[in-house]
Amino acid sequence: MKRIVLLTFIGSLALALTAFGAPQAKKATRSAKPTSTQAAHTVSAARSSHVAPARVSRSIGPGVATRSSARASTVPGNRMVPPRMRSAPAMHRAASAKTLARSRAALNRERTVARANTARTARTQAARSRTARNLVRENAVQRNGTEPARIRNERVSQATRAAARRNLTVNRQRNLTFAHNVLRNRAGDVRVTNNWRNARFNGARYAAFYNYQRTWHDRAWWRSNFTTIVFVGGGWWAWWDGYWYPCWGYVASYWYPYDGPIYTGYATLTPGRVIVEVQQQLGVDGYYAGPIDGRMGPQTRAGIAAFQADNGLTVTSTIDQPTLQTLGLA
C-alpha cells in the first residue's frame, strides 16, 4: 500500500514539473533565439546543480529540455516560411493585374486598328462610288453629244450608198448596151470557134485555142490519157497544161454548148468555179447582167468579148490567160 502511494506521489510530482517547465520553455523561446550552445549550457547547468529538486529534474529535465529545444528549433524555422507564403497571393494579384493591363492594351490596339481599317475601307469605297458616278455621267454626256452626229452620218452614208447603187445600175446598163453593139460588130469572131485557126491566135499565149480540135473518144480513152477529169455543168472536163478541155464522147449522148478550152492555170480551180468568178467580176465592171450559173453561155461569152475589146485584148470570147490577168483573177 505504501508502495502504491509512493508511486502515485512520484507520478504527480513528475506531471507537475512537466507542466511547470512547458511555460518556461515557451518564455525562453520568445525572449531569445535558441541555439545549440544555449541548449548545451542549460543541460550542463541542470547537471551541476546540488539542489534536491534539480536532481529530480535531472532524470526528467533532459527530456523536457530536449522537447523544448526541439520546439524552439522547429518553430523559428517554420516561422520563416509564412512571410513568403503570405506574399504569394499578393504577387499573384500583381501578376494578374499586369496580365489584365496587357490584355486591355492589346484589345485597345486591335480596336484602334479595326476602326482605322474600317474608315479606310469606307473612304476607298466612297471614292470608287464617286468615280463610277462620274464615269457614268461623262459617258451619258458623251453619248448625248455624239448620238445626233452618228445618226446624221448614218443617214448621209445610206444616201451615198443608194446613189452609188443607182449609178452602178445605170453604168452597167450603158456598158451592157455598148457590149451588145460591140458583139454585133464582131459576130463572126465570137460565134464560130474554128475562127481561132487564123493568124491572130497563132502565138504562145493562144496556142491552146489555135491548136484545139474536137475529138471523140470513149470513157476508157479519156481516163487513160488524162489524170484529172471532173463533172461540171452536165458534162465532163479533162485538165491538161493549165486548160480544161471538153471530153467529147465520155458520155455519148451529151452535147457541150461551148466547144473549146478554158484557162484556169491550176487543176484545183475547176472550170465551173472560174466561170463563176468571171461572171461576178464582169457584173461588177458592168459587162454582164445575167445569172451567176457557172456556164459558158452566149451572154457570158458576149460579156467577155466586150471586156476584151475595151481593154485591147485579142477577142477570143472565152476565158484565156490574158483575160484572167486583166480581170485580176490570175
**pLDDT digits over 303-318, tens only?**
999 998 899 998 899 9
Q: How many CB atoms are located within 10 Å of the residue 9 CB? A: 10
- Write down the pLDDT at residue 98: 86
Three-state secondary-structure class, residue 223: helix
For residue 214, give the amino acid letter. R
**Residue 117: pLDDT above 90?**
yes
Mean pLDDT of 61-78: 45
**Residue 151: pLDDT above 80?**
yes
Is there a domain that residue 180 lies in? no
Based on the fold, state whether residues 257 and 323 are members of the same structural domain. yes
Domain span including residue 141: 91-171
Is there a domain that residue 85 lies in? no
Strands ordered across the beta sheet of 235-240 = 229-232, 235-240, 243-246, 262-263
Based on the fold, state whether residues 122 and 198 are members of the same structural domain. no
Length of the chain, in residues: 330
- Cell 455543168 belongs to residue: 233
Based on the fold, state whether residues 245 and 313 are members of the same structural domain. yes
Is there a domain that residue 177 lies in? no
Based on the fold, state whether residues 195 and 283 are members of the same structural domain. yes
Last residue of a domain, one of 79, 113, 137: 79
- Write down the pLDDT at residue 175: 61
* Cβ 69 vs Cβ 39: under 8 Å: yes
Four-residue CA torsion sign, 52, 54, 56, 59: negative
Based on the fold, state whether residues 121 and 39 are members of the same structural domain. no
* Residue environment code for 148-168, b if the CB has 16+ CB neighbours within 10 A, otherwise e: eeeeeeeeeeeeeeeeeeeee
Question: If pLDDT is split at 50, 70 and 90, which confidence band does 67 have?
Answer: very low
Number of domains in the chain: 3
**In this predicted model, what pLDDT tens digit does every residue of 196-209 receive, in sequence order?**
888 888 888 999 99
% of the chain at pLDDT higher than 70: 72
Is there a domain that residue 179 lies in? no
**Residue 48: pLDDT above 90?**
no
- Structural Rg of the chain based on CA atoms: 68
* Residue environment code for 277-295, b if the CB has 16+ CB neighbours within 10 A, otherwise e: bbbebbbebbbbbbeeebb
- Write down the pLDDT at residue 304: 92
Last residue of a domain, one of 46, 79, 112: 79
Is there a domain that residue 86 lies in? no
Is there a domain that residue 18 lies in? yes
> In this predicted model, which residue has the larger pLDDT, 75 or 212?
212
Distances from the Cα of 179 to the Cα of 184, 228, 328, angstroms: 9, 35, 20
Based on the fold, state whether residues 202 and 242 are members of the same structural domain. yes
Last residue of a domain, one of 79, 111, 145: 79
**In this predicted model, what pLDDT tens digit does every residue of 244-288 receive, in sequence order?**
999 999 998 899 989 999 999 999 999 999 999 999 999 999 999
Four-residue CA torsion sign, 173, 177, 182, 184: positive
